[in-house]
Chain A
Amino acid sequence: MTRYVLRRLVLLPALLFLFSVTVFAIVQAPPGDFLTTYVATLASSGSSISAEQVEALRREYGLDRPIWIQYLKWMENLAKGNLGLSLEYQRPNAELIGERLVLTMVLALLSFVFTWIVAIPAGIYSAMHPRSVVDYLLTVVNYVGVATPNFMLALILMWGAFAFFGMSVTGLFSPDFVDAPWSVARVLDLLEHVWLPAVVLGVAGTARLTRVMRANLLDELNKPYVTTARAKGLPEWRLVVRYPARLALNPLVSTIGWYLPALFSGSLIVATVMNLPNIGPLLLRALINQDMYLAGSILLIYCFLTIVGTLVSDILLAWLDPRIRLEER
Chain B
Amino acid sequence: MSVLAPAVPVTAEDRVSVASNWQLVWWRFRKHRLALASALVLLLLYVVVLCPDFFSTQDPEATEARLAFIPIQRLHVFDGWRPAPWVPDVVGKRNPTTLRMEWRVDESRKIPVRFFVTGYSYRVLGVIPTRIHLVGAAPTDGRERLHLLGTDRLGRDQWTRLAHGTRTSMTIGLTAVTFSIVLGVLLGGISGYFGGPADAVIQRLIELLQSLPTIPIWLALTAALPRDWSPQQVFFAITVILSLVGWTTLGREVRGRFLALREEDFVLAAELAGASQGRIIVRHMVPTFLSHIIATSTLAIPAMIINETSLSFLGLGIRPPAISWGVLLQEAQNIQTVALAPWLLVPGAVVILSVLAFNLVGDGLRDAADPYSQ
Binds B, one of A182-190, A219-227, A259-267: A259-267
Q: Is B306 part of the contact surface with A, judged by Cβ < 8 Å?
A: yes
Among residues of A, the one whose C-beta sits closest to the C-beta of B332 is A155
Q: Is B211 part of the contact surface with A, judged by Cβ < 8 Å?
A: yes
Q: Is the CB of A283 within 8 A of B216?
A: yes
Q: Is the CB of A159 within 8 A of B215?
A: no
Q: Is the CB of A26 within 8 A of B351?
A: no
Interface size of B as a range = 35 or more
Q: How many residues of A are in contact with the other chain, CB < 8 A?
A: 48
Q: Cβ of A163: which chain B residues have Cβ within 8 Å of it?
A: 338-339, 342
Q: Is B360 part of the contact surface with A, judged by Cβ < 8 Å?
A: yes
The minimal Cβ–Cβ distance linking A35 to chain B, given in whole angstroms, is: 18
Q: Is the CB of B310 within 8 A of A151?
A: yes
Q: Is the CB of A299 within 8 A of B216?
A: yes
Binds A, one of B45-53, B95-103, B221-229, B275-283: B221-229
**For residues 306 through 361 of chain B, which have their beta carbon under 8 Å from a beta carbon of chain A?**
306, 309-310, 313-316, 329, 332-333, 335-336, 338-339, 342, 345, 348, 351-352, 355-356, 359-360
**For residues 10 through 64 of chain A, which have their beta carbon under 8 Å from a beta carbon of chain B?**
15, 18-19, 22-23, 26-27, 29-31
The 0/1 profile, CB within 8 Å of A marked 1, for residues 271-311 of chain B is 00000000000000000000000000000001000100110
Among residues of B, the one whose C-beta sits closest to the C-beta of A283 is B216
Q: Is the CB of B352 within 8 A of A287?
A: no
Q: Is A272 part of the contact surface with B, judged by Cβ < 8 Å?
A: yes
Report the bound CA distance from A156 to B356 in whole Å: 18
Q: Cβ of B217: which chain A residues have Cβ within 8 Å of it?
A: 22, 26, 299, 302
The one of A151, A155, A288, A306 in contact with B338, judged by C-beta atoms closer than 8 angstroms, is A155
Q: Is the CB of A27 within 8 A of B213?
A: no
Chain A positions near chain B (C-beta within 8 angstroms): 15, 18-19, 22-23, 26-27, 29-31, 143-144, 146-152, 155-156, 158-159, 162-163, 168, 170, 261, 264-266, 268-269, 272-273, 283-284, 287-288, 295, 298-299, 302-303, 305-307, 310
Chain B positions near chain A (C-beta within 8 angstroms): 208, 210-217, 219-221, 223-224, 226, 302, 306, 309-310, 313-316, 329, 332-333, 335-336, 338-339, 342, 345, 348, 351-352, 355-356, 359-360
Q: List 30 A-B contacts (CB under 8 A).
A: A26-B224, A30-B223, A30-B224, A143-B356, A147-B355, A147-B356, A151-B329, A152-B329, A152-B348, A152-B352, A155-B332, A156-B345, A162-B338, A163-B339, A264-B213, A265-B213, A265-B214, A265-B215, A266-B215, A272-B314, A273-B333, A283-B216, A284-B316, A288-B223, A288-B315, A299-B217, A299-B220, A302-B216, A305-B213, A310-B211
